[in-house]
Structure 1
């Protein structure tokens, strides 16, 4: 979701963007051995989803009903709409799997009226045992075979389906290419929440094209079956559900809309920037041990869902804006302990421990990383470790997405108690590729008690070199400098793996 940002208002646009994740679909017949289903358990998930029963009568602790029937159903015609499930399950044979299922459509706007666009469904399965990712994406000219309904989730797309209304949902998706079929019943164990509720009352601006809303449920109790190569397995676990919709044109974010819309969007952005800066300066700028800028981070966003073993959950979105890769990070983090009260945190710092180089896009995508978040007396530190392959998708408009899953650990501290945290996460990173080669700068600070100094690393794929300089004055004086070919140049011309081959150096 993003493109070229010329004003500070656009910074916030990306800051609070939510990205789509994966797509799944369902079938009416499940091959393989039959599985006995417990009527009482199924009744819990399906019993109240009739047309006359209002499942939205549960309020949060502030007495608010965050979602209506209209919110849950189709908003056709509009610029963009997406439904998305992400679940983590353990099969009866002990294997652990992550599953992502997305259905979405995009429309264009001509002289104020929406016209046909594109729709797609995407199904992703990750095996935690092998780490392998099974990714199936199917696009169509919209509306094509996509069927959607007002006032409830009722979607069919070929043999894939989503259905339900808060708090009960069901999805069925078929990846015929990899012979994996998934049926999942989901019960919401947490309240829905609109992204940026505290920031902008849930309204998200997208360039000059319009606005959208992104609502999510961060904790679903999940059970169902996965059929792999004709053999079905019972599965139980946890999940996440998201629904986005609005007038925004995701594929052309800077296409002009009405003057009134653009004025309102500017007001929202300015108010949001004020909120963001107030939050940052109220907590105080923290000392950072590294900062970085990179062309890979100029346009795009990261979305991440985290489910902890103790029942807490976090959903955060990080803007890939103006090249910032490390240090103070333009992130909006939603944290809940009980599934009813949400804390929105934007004072977030990131440090990347490892990257994966994607040659097709000449882009580096973070793998393992750390974040530290602050709000008042609350501090959350999290360490992310990838455990699966990363799915990759490149589109004609130079946008691309990368999605993987892993384990997370860390701790929470609020001035009174400290809690160790462990759990699982799923993260999708979306980027718009710039028409230039990769260029990055990273500055690392050597701080007491380790010493005193700094280092600078500059990498240019256009020049084909990496330049490194380090100056340390304590506890001992040391200077190091070298210039060497970039890893991609070494592979391309020298036919060897990257190593410390310096064109010029002294130490």
Structure 2
């Protein structure tokens, strides 16, 4: 008999961790305003960064996507020194915006004074919290030479009011809530060791978990890119029409198409979670950053497997992206960070040894890219196996070198090596 699922969060897990370098709380939601039946998507978060330094910074960020109009985005970012935090309960505030409560009930107010928008939300969790990579690390993930803990609640019932254009609309929908804290620096992720023992053990445990779920073998084809470095990731949350939820996070390790080094987490009932570690992914469509020489996916195809269960999914952006930019002018190698948040739709299938279920729903997609001075460079490698032959074909497209280089190494043909260089315009 399986053990009954229990809430893994404590009250201290919800509250601020003032000894950590970075910390944030974030709400993502799809909802409808009842009177006019319009569809909306929002993201709002409070973030404290560099808390151990003299440069402590707090950020309140708010994005509102009008899905009925398609590409209409309202957003605002405000910065100050510190968040206001209650000592005896979970209550964090940025001026007159706040998140407060205790699992499973939270009250939130987000006041975007710049655009004259006020969002009042009551959030009731319809699912248990979950720690990412719970089986491997109990929620701990590496970032460069640092480490952080990542917990989320994938399904929440959202009610409240949206005050916009001098009108008040009642709303209802579904939301996702996360809390993350730890010790790392986006500006210098490889420059500071906060806890070598913790970071090293986290990498080792994740490698062991990945190896347990994946047999190492050469694929037919694999694609790499410079912006898909280990400090970049693809993130997505989805809720299906049947009530199931998906969390997807992939730390990229330069791979643009091939085996994923991340995790996909499925919950069918909001209490039990299935962590998929064997994942193949590809980008069917890409978009270009407005500020940096880099690309990010707008259509991600995923095949994930856990024992007899299998998912084949497509995450597709359906509006233009809001691109958040952070520049690192003093860093010798990394020039900045870009996050492209976009609502979308998800469809696909779930399989097991008994049934095949069609899935359809909404998703939020947020590719994060840490950008180096080398810009966008892409390498595709095709492996040729008998009976078609024996060898490797590769294509390198380099914006940094401004070259396109094709190379073929064949053991079944003469000459065995072919090499071609062209200008990449």
Per-residue deviation, 1:174:
2.2
User: Is 1:227 the counterpart of 2:163 in the alignment?
Assistant: yes
Change (3 A) 1:307 1:275: same
Q: 1:88 aligns to what?
A: 30
User: Is 1:278 the counterpart of 2:212 in the alignment?
Assistant: yes
Change (3 A) 1:484 1:353: farther
Residues 347-380 of structure 1 show CA distances to partners (whole Å, capped at 9, x for unaligned) of 1111111111125210011111211101111110
User: Is 1:157 the counterpart of 2:88 in the alignment?
Assistant: no
User: Is 1:138 the counterpart of 2:68 in the alignment?
Assistant: no
d(CA) in 2 for partners of 1:280, 1:73 = 36
Change (3 A) 1:483 1:408: farther
8 Å Cα contact 2:7-2:128 kept in structure 1: no
d(CA) in 1 for partners of 2:402, 2:118 = 46
Q: 1:174 aligns to what?
A: 111
Structure 1, unaligned runs of 5 or more: 1-59, 472-480, 490-507
8 Å Cα contact 1:218-1:315 kept in structure 2: yes
d(CA) in 1 for partners of 2:63, 2:258 = 31
Q: 1:436 aligns to what?
A: 374
Match runs of 1:195-274 below 5 Å: 195-209=132-146, 211-257=147-193, 261-274=195-208
Q: 1:78 aligns to what?
A: 20
Residues 110-132 of structure 1 show CA distances to partners (whole Å, capped at 9, x for unaligned) of xxxx5441110110111212222
Per-residue deviation, 1:108:
5.0
Aligned with residue 117 of structure 1, among 56, 71, 78: 56
Change (3 A) 1:267 1:484: closer
Question: TM (normalized to structure 2)?
Answer: 0.87
Q: Secondary structure at the match of 1:296?
A: coil
8 Å Cα contact 1:349-1:373 kept in structure 2: yes
Change (3 A) 1:265 1:229: same
Match runs of 1:340-355 below 5 Å: 340-355=271-286
Structure 2, unaligned runs of 5 or more: 329-335, 410-418
Q: 1:416 aligns to what?
A: 354
Aligned with residue 269 of structure 2, among 323, 338, 345: 338
d(CA) in 2 for partners of 1:128, 1:329 = 30
Per-residue deviation, 1:467:
5.5
Per-residue deviation, 1:161:
1.4
8 Å Cα contact 2:18-2:51 kept in structure 1: no
User: Is 1:310 the counterpart of 2:242 in the alignment?
Assistant: yes
8 Å Cα contact 1:69-1:151 kept in structure 2: no
Change (3 A) 1:135 1:249: same
Q: Secondary structure at the match of 1:164?
A: strand
User: Is 1:386 the counterpart of 2:326 in the alignment?
Assistant: no
Q: 2:255 aligns to what?
A: 324
Q: Secondary structure at the match of 2:262?
A: strand
User: Is 1:376 the counterpart of 2:314 in the alignment?
Assistant: no
Change (3 A) 1:456 1:288: same
Per-residue deviation, 1:77:
3.5
8 Å Cα contact 1:80-1:250 kept in structure 2: no
d(CA) in 1 for partners of 2:296, 2:199 = 31
Residues 48-78 of structure 1 show CA distances to partners (whole Å, capped at 9, x for unaligned) of xxxxxxxxxxxx9545430111111112242
Residues 316-352 of structure 1 show CA distances to partners (whole Å, capped at 9, x for unaligned) of 111132x211011111111111111111112111111
Change (3 A) 1:368 1:98: same
d(CA) in 2 for partners of 1:170, 1:484 = 59
Aligned with residue 183 of structure 1, among 107, 111, 120: 120
8 Å Cα contact 2:252-2:262 kept in structure 1: no
d(CA) in 2 for partners of 1:128, 1:375 = 34
Residues matched between the structures, number: 406
Per-residue deviation, 1:236:
1.2
User: Is 1:127 the counterpart of 2:66 in the alignment?
Assistant: yes
**Relative contact order, higher structure (CA 8 A, sep 6+):** 1
Per-residue deviation, 1:465:
4.5
Question: TM (normalized to structure 1)?
Answer: 0.73
d(CA) in 2 for partners of 1:250, 1:296 = 15
8 Å Cα contact 2:403-2:421 kept in structure 1: yes
Match runs of 1:10-49 below 5 Å: none
Q: Which one has a bigger Cα radius of gyration?
A: 1
Q: Secondary structure at the match of 1:271?
A: helix
Aligned with residue 297 of structure 1, among 221, 224, 228: 228
d(CA) in 1 for partners of 2:178, 2:373 = 32
Q: Secondary structure at the match of 1:70?
A: helix
User: Is 1:400 the counterpart of 2:334 in the alignment?
Assistant: no
